[in-house]
Amino acid sequence: MKREERYRIILEHFRKEMPEVNTELEFGSVFQLLVAVILSAQCTDKRVNQVTPELFRHFPDAKHMAQAEAEELLVYISSVSYPNSKAKHLSEMARLLMEKHHGEVPSDMNELLDLPGVGRKTANVIQAVAFGQAKMAVDTHVYRVSHRLGLVSKQDNTPYKVEMTLMKYIPEEEVPRAHHWLLLHGRYVCTSRTPHCNKCALESVCPKLFENSRLEH
Q: Which of 88, 121, 135, 156 is catalytic?
A: 121
Q: What pLDDT is stored for residue 216 in this prediction?
A: 39
Interatomic CA distance for residues 146 and 107, integer angstroms: 26
At which of 74, 98, 130 does a domain end? Answer: 130
Interatomic CA distance for residues 194 and 105, integer angstroms: 38
The residue type at 65:
M
Instruction: Write out pLDDT tens, residues 29-87.
Output: 999 999 999 999 989 999 999 999 999 999 999 999 999 999 999 999 999 999 999 99
Statement to judge: residues 40 and 109 lie in one domain: yes
Do the Cβ atoms of 158 and 78 come closer than 8 Å? no
The answer to whether residue 83 is domain-embedded is: yes
Q: What residues in the chain have per-residue pLDDT under 70?
A: 211-217
Do the Cβ atoms of 125 and 137 come closer than 8 Å? yes
Closest CA to 23 of 196, 176, 186: 176
| 71 alpha-carbon distance from chain centroid | 26
Buried b (16+ CB within 10 A) or exposed e, 104-126: ebbeebebbeebbbbebbbbbbb
Active site residue 168: no
Q: What pLDDT is stored for residue 1 in this prediction?
A: 84
Active site residue 121: yes
User: Can you give the residue range of the structural domain that contains 85?
Assistant: 30-130
Number of domains in the chain: 2
Interatomic CA distance for residues 194 and 90, integer angstroms: 34
Is the whole model's pTM more than 0.85, yes or no?
Answer: yes
Statement to judge: residues 46 and 102 lie in one domain: yes
Q: What pLDDT is stored for residue 214 in this prediction?
A: 60
